[in-house]
Amino acid sequence: MDGQSEDSRTTRERILDAAMSIFSAKGFHDTKLDEIVAEGGISKGSIYFHFPNKEKLFIALVDQFADLIERRAKEAIESEAESIRRVQAALEAVLETYGKYRLPAKLLLVQAVGLGTVFERKRMEVNDRFALLIETYLDEAVADGSIAPVDTHIVAHAWMGAIYNVVIQWVYTGEPSKDEIMQALLPLLLKSVGYQPLEIGASP
Protein backbone atom coordinates (compact mmCIF):
# COMPACT_ATOMS: atom_id res chain seq x y z
CA MET A 1 0.00 0.00 0.00
CA ASP A 2 2.80 2.42 0.96
CA GLY A 3 4.61 1.61 -2.28
CA GLN A 4 1.48 2.31 -4.29
CA SER A 5 0.96 5.57 -2.42
CA GLU A 6 4.56 6.60 -3.09
CA ASP A 7 4.20 5.74 -6.78
CA SER A 8 0.99 7.78 -6.90
CA ARG A 9 2.70 10.79 -5.33
CA THR A 10 5.61 10.49 -7.75
CA THR A 11 3.24 10.36 -10.73
CA ARG A 12 1.33 13.35 -9.41
CA GLU A 13 4.56 15.32 -9.05
CA ARG A 14 5.61 14.41 -12.59
CA ILE A 15 2.23 15.60 -13.86
CA LEU A 16 2.55 18.89 -11.99
CA ASP A 17 6.12 19.43 -13.19
CA ALA A 18 5.14 18.78 -16.81
CA ALA A 19 2.03 20.95 -16.51
CA MET A 20 4.09 23.78 -15.02
CA SER A 21 6.41 23.73 -18.01
CA ILE A 22 3.67 23.66 -20.65
CA PHE A 23 1.24 26.06 -18.97
CA SER A 24 4.03 28.59 -18.39
CA ALA A 25 5.14 28.43 -22.01
CA LYS A 26 1.76 28.32 -23.76
CA GLY A 27 -0.82 29.61 -21.31
CA PHE A 28 -3.91 27.84 -20.02
CA HIS A 29 -6.12 27.96 -23.11
CA ASP A 30 -3.45 26.88 -25.61
CA THR A 31 -2.17 23.99 -23.50
CA LYS A 32 -3.39 20.54 -24.49
CA LEU A 33 -3.29 17.55 -22.19
CA ASP A 34 -1.46 15.57 -24.86
CA GLU A 35 1.41 18.06 -24.54
CA ILE A 36 1.57 17.48 -20.79
CA VAL A 37 1.50 13.72 -21.43
CA ALA A 38 4.45 14.01 -23.81
CA GLU A 39 6.38 16.38 -21.54
CA GLY A 40 6.03 14.18 -18.46
CA GLY A 41 6.23 10.76 -20.09
CA ILE A 42 2.93 9.82 -18.45
CA SER A 43 -0.43 8.54 -19.64
CA LYS A 44 -3.52 10.65 -20.10
CA GLY A 45 -5.30 8.22 -17.79
CA SER A 46 -2.81 9.10 -15.04
CA ILE A 47 -3.68 12.76 -15.39
CA TYR A 48 -7.40 12.09 -15.15
CA PHE A 49 -6.80 9.83 -12.12
CA HIS A 50 -5.28 12.75 -10.21
CA PHE A 51 -7.04 15.71 -11.85
CA PRO A 52 -10.54 15.51 -13.36
CA ASN A 53 -9.86 18.34 -15.82
CA LYS A 54 -7.33 20.91 -17.00
CA GLU A 55 -8.80 23.56 -14.71
CA LYS A 56 -8.21 21.46 -11.58
CA LEU A 57 -4.65 20.76 -12.71
CA PHE A 58 -3.94 24.46 -13.15
CA ILE A 59 -5.40 25.33 -9.77
CA ALA A 60 -3.35 22.54 -8.14
CA LEU A 61 -0.22 24.27 -9.45
CA VAL A 62 -1.32 27.58 -7.96
CA ASP A 63 -2.02 25.88 -4.62
CA GLN A 64 1.36 24.15 -4.71
CA PHE A 65 3.15 27.46 -5.18
CA ALA A 66 1.05 29.18 -2.52
CA ASP A 67 1.93 26.42 -0.05
CA LEU A 68 5.61 26.89 -0.85
CA ILE A 69 5.50 30.65 -0.28
CA GLU A 70 3.63 30.26 3.00
CA ARG A 71 6.03 27.57 4.21
CA ARG A 72 9.08 29.69 3.36
CA ALA A 73 7.56 32.72 5.10
CA LYS A 74 6.72 30.80 8.27
CA GLU A 75 10.18 29.23 8.38
CA ALA A 76 11.74 32.68 8.15
CA ILE A 77 9.42 34.07 10.82
CA GLU A 78 10.24 31.30 13.29
CA SER A 79 13.85 32.46 13.55
CA GLU A 80 12.86 35.99 14.59
CA ALA A 81 11.76 37.08 18.05
CA GLU A 82 10.86 40.73 17.47
CA SER A 83 7.47 41.37 15.88
CA ILE A 84 8.67 43.92 13.32
CA ARG A 85 11.55 41.65 12.33
CA ARG A 86 8.96 38.91 11.82
CA VAL A 87 7.10 41.22 9.45
CA GLN A 88 10.33 41.96 7.59
CA ALA A 89 11.28 38.25 7.47
CA ALA A 90 7.89 37.36 6.01
CA LEU A 91 8.22 40.03 3.31
CA GLU A 92 11.75 38.93 2.48
CA ALA A 93 10.66 35.28 2.22
CA VAL A 94 7.74 36.11 -0.08
CA LEU A 95 9.94 38.20 -2.38
CA GLU A 96 12.76 35.65 -2.33
CA THR A 97 10.39 32.83 -3.24
CA TYR A 98 8.86 34.75 -6.14
CA GLY A 99 12.40 35.51 -7.30
CA LYS A 100 13.57 31.90 -7.19
CA TYR A 101 10.48 30.36 -8.78
CA ARG A 102 9.74 32.39 -11.88
CA LEU A 103 7.56 29.83 -13.70
CA PRO A 104 4.99 29.34 -10.90
CA ALA A 105 5.06 33.09 -10.27
CA LYS A 106 4.16 33.57 -13.92
CA LEU A 107 1.28 31.11 -13.57
CA LEU A 108 -0.15 32.83 -10.51
CA LEU A 109 0.40 36.45 -11.46
CA VAL A 110 0.10 36.42 -15.26
CA GLN A 111 -1.46 33.26 -16.72
CA ALA A 112 -4.35 33.13 -14.25
CA VAL A 113 -5.51 36.65 -15.12
CA GLY A 114 -8.73 36.79 -17.10
CA LEU A 115 -9.40 33.05 -17.07
CA GLY A 116 -12.77 33.37 -15.38
CA THR A 117 -14.43 33.40 -11.99
CA VAL A 118 -12.87 30.19 -10.63
CA PHE A 119 -9.36 31.39 -11.33
CA GLU A 120 -9.95 34.91 -10.07
CA ARG A 121 -11.40 33.48 -6.87
CA LYS A 122 -8.28 31.35 -6.45
CA ARG A 123 -6.02 34.37 -7.05
CA MET A 124 -7.94 36.35 -4.44
CA GLU A 125 -7.75 33.43 -2.02
CA VAL A 126 -3.96 33.28 -2.39
CA ASN A 127 -3.62 37.06 -2.04
CA ASP A 128 -5.81 37.07 1.08
CA ARG A 129 -3.81 34.20 2.53
CA PHE A 130 -0.54 36.12 2.41
CA ALA A 131 -2.10 39.44 3.36
CA LEU A 132 -3.52 37.77 6.48
CA LEU A 133 -0.09 36.38 7.34
CA ILE A 134 1.46 39.85 7.09
CA GLU A 135 -1.49 41.43 8.92
CA THR A 136 -1.02 39.06 11.86
CA TYR A 137 2.56 40.18 12.44
CA LEU A 138 1.76 43.84 11.82
CA ASP A 139 -0.83 43.51 14.59
CA GLU A 140 1.88 42.15 16.87
CA ALA A 141 4.17 45.05 15.97
CA VAL A 142 1.41 47.54 16.81
CA ALA A 143 0.60 45.72 20.05
CA ASP A 144 4.19 45.83 21.33
CA GLY A 145 4.76 49.42 20.23
CA SER A 146 7.25 48.68 17.44
CA ILE A 147 5.10 50.71 15.04
CA ALA A 148 2.33 53.25 15.52
CA PRO A 149 -1.28 52.05 15.25
CA VAL A 150 -2.38 51.58 11.64
CA ASP A 151 -5.17 49.78 9.83
CA THR A 152 -3.15 46.58 9.41
CA HIS A 153 -5.77 44.97 7.18
CA ILE A 154 -5.52 47.73 4.57
CA VAL A 155 -1.74 48.01 4.91
CA ALA A 156 -1.23 44.27 4.40
CA HIS A 157 -3.36 44.22 1.25
CA ALA A 158 -1.65 47.38 -0.06
CA TRP A 159 1.71 45.71 0.48
CA MET A 160 0.62 42.60 -1.42
CA GLY A 161 -0.59 44.80 -4.27
CA ALA A 162 2.79 46.52 -4.45
CA ILE A 163 4.64 43.19 -4.37
CA TYR A 164 2.41 41.73 -7.10
CA ASN A 165 2.83 44.70 -9.43
CA VAL A 166 6.62 44.76 -9.16
CA VAL A 167 6.93 40.99 -9.52
CA ILE A 168 4.59 40.96 -12.54
CA GLN A 169 6.92 43.43 -14.28
CA TRP A 170 9.88 41.20 -13.40
CA VAL A 171 8.12 38.08 -14.71
CA TYR A 172 7.41 39.81 -18.04
CA THR A 173 10.73 41.57 -18.57
CA GLY A 174 13.31 40.13 -16.19
CA GLU A 175 13.70 43.60 -14.69
CA PRO A 176 14.21 44.84 -12.08
CA SER A 177 16.32 41.99 -10.68
CA LYS A 178 15.29 40.10 -7.58
CA ASP A 179 17.93 41.86 -5.50
CA GLU A 180 16.92 45.29 -6.82
CA ILE A 181 13.34 44.54 -5.81
CA MET A 182 14.48 43.52 -2.34
CA GLN A 183 16.70 46.58 -1.89
CA ALA A 184 14.12 49.12 -3.09
CA LEU A 185 10.69 47.73 -2.28
CA LEU A 186 11.23 46.21 1.15
CA PRO A 187 12.49 49.41 2.85
CA LEU A 188 9.70 51.36 1.16
CA LEU A 189 7.04 49.06 2.58
CA LEU A 190 8.52 49.07 6.07
CA LYS A 191 8.94 52.86 6.07
CA SER A 192 5.25 53.17 5.17
CA VAL A 193 4.43 52.04 8.72
CA GLY A 194 7.13 54.21 10.29
CA TYR A 195 9.84 51.59 10.62
CA GLN A 196 13.40 52.21 9.44
CA PRO A 197 15.02 48.85 8.67
CA LEU A 198 18.68 48.55 9.64
CA GLU A 199 19.53 46.06 6.93
CA ILE A 200 17.87 44.15 4.13
CA GLY A 201 18.43 40.41 3.99
CA ALA A 202 18.62 40.02 0.23
CA SER A 203 20.46 36.96 -0.97
CA PRO A 204 23.17 37.37 -3.59
> What digits encode the pLDDT tens for the residues 27-85?
788 888 889 999 888 888 989 899 888 888 888 888 888 888 888 888 888 888 888 88
Number of independent structural domains in the chain: 2
Domain co-membership, 148 together with 75: yes
Domain co-membership, 36 together with 127: no
- pTM equals 0.74
Distance CA 125, CA 26 (A): 24
Residue-averaged pLDDT of the chain: 82
Mean pLDDT along residues 150-174:
87
What pLDDT is recorded for position 151? 96
User: Domain holding 139: CATH number?
Assistant: 1.10.357.10
Residue-range definition of the domain harbouring residue 44:
1-52
| Amino acid identity for residue 155 in this structure | V
Give the Å distances, CA to CA, from 90 to 5, 97, 190, 193. 34, 11, 12, 15
What pLDDT is recorded for position 187? 87
Name the strand (E) or helix (H) holding 49: helix 44-50
